[in-house]
Amino acid sequence: MNEKLLDGKRVAAEIRAEVGERVAELRGRGIIPRLDVILVGDDPASKVYVGAKARACEKLGMVSGTHRLEPNAGQAALERLIGDLNADPEVDGILVQLPLPEGYDTHAALDVIDPAKDVDGFHPRNVGLLQQGRPSLTPCTPAGIMELLRREEIPVKGQRAVVVGRSDIVGKPLAMLLLHAHATVTLCHSRTRDLTSVTREADLLVAAAGKLALIGPEHVKPGAAVIDVGIHRLTRREEVERLFPGDEARMARFEAKGSVLTGDVDFVRVAPLASRITPVPGGVGPLTIAMLMSNTERAARLRRGREE
Ligand code: NAD
């Protein structure tokens, strides 16, 4: 079983170590990459993510700045702050923590970020470059999945890849990256008819729908590689027992913490069929933050024309 697991944590540590080396080299030339994160409002999950991003930066020798705006600060204040960070020569990366509170226009905010500092890769210029197959700064979760596939030698070229979920953050950019890596790609979504028959065609199946245990054994072709992007917090004992029957270690974690994480894939029932599979937690999640670090360091080089 263990040899099937795609260890995102290990690959993320590898990526972070490489970024750390490149940062050390930049620091030797007097350049300290800097990431600035904007947090609007007080969503508890967003606060946790923002804290984790700042700590990850500092561990790798980069600088981080956090800017908090009140939930009712307004679109103009948000865009002014982005403008200030665009103009600040010390700042290499700007990230607006999503989702924004109600009343904010997310697209309008992302549109004002300098594309050269857009470490999330959500600016229309970076989205367009990605579509044309000449990516600059690429969205972190899809970029992390591609790194995992490459480093774990999961075949992509010529393979039938099915991505479930068409969000701008995960599904669409991942489909583009897979396409450029020469997979034959199908994107599924909430209105896809007969999802099972489509996903069963996949040599590489990516679940990014945000629906607990959506992907069961009936969706998976034996021997497929399965990547689970979904994150769900199980807070009810019956759910843990239903999805992980007899898994004492997981139940112990649930007892200790009051919750455990799982994904869009019914892991216990799908894993026996899959050739390789990502766990949740410890799969795609750690790669996202590692790629954000990589994008920040890359932005620092790109901006100074030192991309080697
Ligand atoms: P989203 O809600 O923006 O998009 C979900 C997509 O799934 C939509 O395109 C929708 O059409 C599709 N979908 C919904 N129900 C479906 C169904 N029954 N069948 C087929 N398609 C369906 O979500 P998102 O931001 O792309 O995130 C997806 C999941 O990935 C969430 O659980 C999120 O928490 C997780 N996520 C994880 C990471 C990470 O680092 N691991 C990063 C981003 C998102």
227-245: pLDDT as tens digits = 999 999 999 999 999 999 9
Residues 137-142: what's their mean pLDDT? 98
Q: How confident is the model at residue 306 (pLDDT cuts 50, 70, 90)?
A: low
3-state secondary structure of 232: strand
Q: Would the CB of 165 count as within 6 Å of ligand 1? A: yes
Give the integer Cα–Cα distance in Å for 242 and 213.
11
Catalytic entry in 36, 92, 118, 120: 120
Q: Would the CB of 186 count as within 6 Å of ligand 1? A: no
3-state secondary structure of 27: helix
Give the integer Cα–Cα distance in Å for 120 and 137.
7
Going from the Cα of 56 to the center of ligand 1, the distance in angstroms, rounded, reads 25
Name the residue at shortest CA distance from atom 15 of ligand 1: 190
Going from the Cα of 263 to the center of ligand 1, the distance in angstroms, rounded, reads 10
User: Does the pLDDT value for residue 308 go beyond 60?
Assistant: no
Q: Would the CB of 288 count as within 6 Å of ligand 1? A: yes
Name the residue at shortest CA distance from atom 8 of ligand 1: 165
Q: Please give the domain boundaries of the chain with CATH numbers for all domains.
A: 29-115 (3.40.50.10860), 140-287 (3.40.50.720)
Q: CA nearest 145: which of 125, 126, 173?
A: 173
Residues 127-144: what's their mean pLDDT? 97
- Strands 160-164 and 204-207 turn out to be parallel
Cα 215 off chain centre by: 19
Q: CA nearest 214: which of 158, 117, 280?
A: 280
Whether 97 is catalytic: yes
Q: What is the DSSP string of 248-266?
A: HHHHHHHHHHS-EEE-SB-
User: Does the pLDDT value for residue 259 go beyond 70?
Assistant: yes
Could you report the per-residue pLDDT of 77-87, keeping only the tens digit for each?
Answer: 999 999 999 99
Structure tokens at 217: 């054994």
- Strands 225-228 and 34-40 turn out to be unpaired
Give the predicted TM-score (pTM) of the model: 0.97
| Radius of gyration for the chain, computed over Cα atoms and rounded to the nearest angstrom | 20
Beta bridge pairs of residue 228:
207
Structure tokens at 83: 């403008």
Catalytic entry in 53, 172, 228, 266: 53
User: Does the pLDDT value for residue 104 go beyond 60?
Assistant: yes
Q: Please name the residues in contact with 191: beta carbons below 8 A apart, sequence gap of 6 or more.
A: none
